[in-house]
Structure 1
Amino acid sequence: MNKGKALRAGDTIGVVATSSPATEEVLVKSIAALEDFGFKVKVSGTCRETYGGYLAGTPQQRAFELNAMFADEEVDGIMCMRGGYGAPQILNYLDYDLIAQNPKLFIGYSDITALHSAFGQHASLATLHGPMATSDIAHGLNDWTKQYLLRAMTRPEPLGKIVNPPGEEISCLVEGQASGQVVGGNLALVAALMGTPYQVDTKGKLLFLEDIDEEPYRIDRMLTQLALGGLFDDCAGVIIGTWTDCLPKKRDGFSVLDVFQNIVVPYGKPTLWNVQIGHGTTNMALPFGVEASLDATGCELTIEESVTV
């Protein structure tokens, strides 16, 4: 896999708007927070654009500026401004050869799942599923989240064992051991990519999933789509993150855990539950496209390879 360099104090982070817009007030806060981390910040033009009410510029504009950030020799790493909606729109406009030839640490999650999958498959780029500028960093990260993010960004070494914060236990849904590259991300986006050239490739890999604001019946539908598409047949193991505000409306309705037990557990793949990665208060950085080992019996996930050089 291609990898960007580990970032150092004084390096420049390019902030890009690949999806939905943000307010100027929150953007300014995010820039100040990144500068407090010790980085310089370069902001793409669409970070201050709104198109159609829910997009930060046209698909072509957003793709052009993301391509430009990879080509810009002054930019050392790239962080998405926020998620929301719109990243899948730009996939056909990206220059994957350019990106492969200019690898940089690329950070984001949620809607950015589409870009993680596209970069991994079409530019062989290892990426970082982690907090973003206006949606997270502008509002302050808790110590656990900040620690994992900065370690992944600045140290060219494996993250090692992923440890939840106190009070949040990782549990096992299916016992066993597995290893492989980590792929996946937000369930809604993984489902949306099915049947496209950017579909998440799970063959021999560890599939990570998380989501927010989805009722269990909708999660059931999306997991069923992944199952029918062969993703659980192909994967080596499953890492289940956080499910923020995903409660059933009916008292007797299935919970998210019930849905995973009904759909995913029967595949018999080693499966971890409640890894604190996703839209929750804690969102630990998780490298994609690098080797990891999963010991579901011991409730452990270990990142064996660095996402940077």
Structure 2
Amino acid sequence: MIIYPILEEGATIGVTAPSSGVKAELHDLLKLSCSRIQTKGFNVICGDTAWTQEKAKSSPAKIRAKEFNAMMCDDKINMIIPPWGGELLIEILEDIDFENLKSKWILGYSDTSVLLMAITIKTGIATAHGTNLMDLRGEYSDHTTAMWQAVLSTKTGESILQHSSLKYQKEWDYTAPSPCVFHLTEPTYWKAVSNMDVKIKGRLLGGCIDVIRHLIGTQYGDVRHFQQQFIHNESILWYLENCELTTTDLRRSLVQMKLAGWFENCSGLMFGRSNANQPVDNYTVEDIYKELSEELQIPVIYDMDCGHVPPQMTLINGAYAEIEIENGKGSVMQFFNP
């Protein structure tokens, strides 16, 4: 069965950096992010790793793992949000104390999704793929991003509905800070390979494909065990997003997932918007989506609110979800079923 943490009013949020920390010149942004969280009524405890960054990581792997383990065992801390993702989170997995992790929400995306997926697969504790801390530094958040708080406050046995965003951010403009961190300018339009309205159901699992693909063949990516042990062999509804891969690298990664059995008993695939997906020899990402749908005989949805092109929904690894697309608009109903 899946174990769902709960976010309660006045909770204490731990900020640790299991991947990348924050360099000195950006400390003001981290402080601002923490203060914004505090204005929502939460307490904040920042670990040492959040404030350092060198050689593509916040600190050596064992130090990152030790601080994370300590926060997960500390009864005073109710939830963990890293500052952001990074590159080398996978280094800490062998030092995570999976057997003694307490039930707490961990929220993030990008490289953080390696940790989220590994925890849910190995322990059955639900994890939250969504905004990171640094994206919560605005005076307010857009409606899609702001749903993280409502989603994580949902109780076991209850459900919560999210709708696709009205607009998304095409590119970052750091020269024009605004009350809302994201500059949402482009109309959102969810798509399906069939070009028809789609309904899919299944247990959610996924993350940033650039990094979670490296869990294949390890104990941290044993999807069959997860299906058998925690979700009673229910079908998996995968959500994936591409940060930096070309179309051929994306295709190789997806084929490897298929060969590893990740797509067995799979009800559908969903892909987030991406600024990557560069075509190779006229081989486009739309070609990949069509091939996948035909090979696996399942629906494929793309350009959804997930990943590095904000805003993004809060998707719960392990939750049962019903996804609908109608006329380019999407909805995600998540059921916190054990």
Please give the secondary structure, in 2, of the residue aligned with 1:180: strand
Asked if 1:238 is matched to 2:269, the reply is yes
Maintained 8 Å contact 2:144/2:164: no
Equivalent pairs counted in the alignment come to: 301
Please give the secondary structure, in 1, of the residue aligned with 2:316: strand
What is the CA distance between 1:208 and its match in structure 2? 0.6
What is the CA distance between 1:217 and its match in structure 2? 2.1
Greater alpha carbon shift after TM alignment, 194-203 vs 139-148: 139-148
Which residue is 1:270 aligned to? 299
AA aligned opposite 2:76:
E
Which residue is 1:30 aligned to? 33
Alignment match of 2:203 (pick from 174, 181, 196): 181
AA aligned opposite 1:158:
S
Give the Cα–Cα distance (whole angstroms) in 2 for the partners of residues 301 and 237 of structure 1.
15
Give matches, 1:213-228, under 5 Å.
213-228=244-259
Asked if 1:229 is matched to 2:260, the reply is yes
Give the Cα–Cα distance (whole angstroms) in 2 for the partners of residues 16 and 47 of structure 1.
5
Which residue is 1:3 aligned to? 4
Give the Cα–Cα distance (whole angstroms) in 1 for the partners of residues 140 and 312 of structure 2.
9
What is the CA distance between 1:29 and its match in structure 2? 2.1
Q: Deviations over 1:78-105 (max 9, x none)?
A: 1112111121111111111211xx2011
Please give the secondary structure, in 1, of the residue aligned with 2:321: strand
Which residue is 1:126 aligned to? 126
Maintained 8 Å contact 1:15/1:78: yes
Maintained 8 Å contact 1:270/1:296: no
AA aligned opposite 1:214:
L
Q: Deviations over 1:93-128 (max 9, x none)?
A: 1111211xx201110111112111211122211011
Maintained 8 Å contact 1:187/1:209: yes
What is the CA distance between 1:275 and its match in structure 2? 1.2
- Shift of the 181–74 alpha-carbon distance from structure 1 to 2, 3 Å rule, reads same
Asked if 1:40 is matched to 2:43, the reply is yes
Give the Cα–Cα distance (whole angstroms) in 1 for the partners of residues 264 and 236 of structure 2.
11
Give the Cα–Cα distance (whole angstroms) in 2 for the partners of residues 200 and 243 of structure 1.
27
Which residue is 1:148 aligned to? 147
Q: Deviations over 1:136-156 (max 9, x none)?
A: 223677413333222213343
- Shift of the 70–98 alpha-carbon distance from structure 1 to 2, 3 Å rule, reads same
Maintained 8 Å contact 1:158/1:305: yes
Which residue is 1:303 aligned to? 333
Alignment match of 2:215 (pick from 176, 193, 217): 193
Give matches, 1:3-82, under 5 Å.
3-8=4-9, 10-23=10-23, 24-51=27-54, 53-82=55-84
Query: Any gaps of 5 or more consecutive residues in structure 2?
Result: 168-186, 228-234
AA aligned opposite 1:150:
Q
Maintained 8 Å contact 1:173/1:265: no
Maintained 8 Å contact 2:163/2:331: yes
- Shift of the 206–140 alpha-carbon distance from structure 1 to 2, 3 Å rule, reads farther
Maintained 8 Å contact 2:274/2:309: yes
What is the CA distance between 1:280 and its match in structure 2? 0.9
Q: TM-score, normalization: structure 1?
A: 0.88
Give the Cα–Cα distance (whole angstroms) in 1 for the partners of residues 17 and 139 of structure 2.
20
| Identical counterparts, % of pairs | 24
AA aligned opposite 1:278:
G
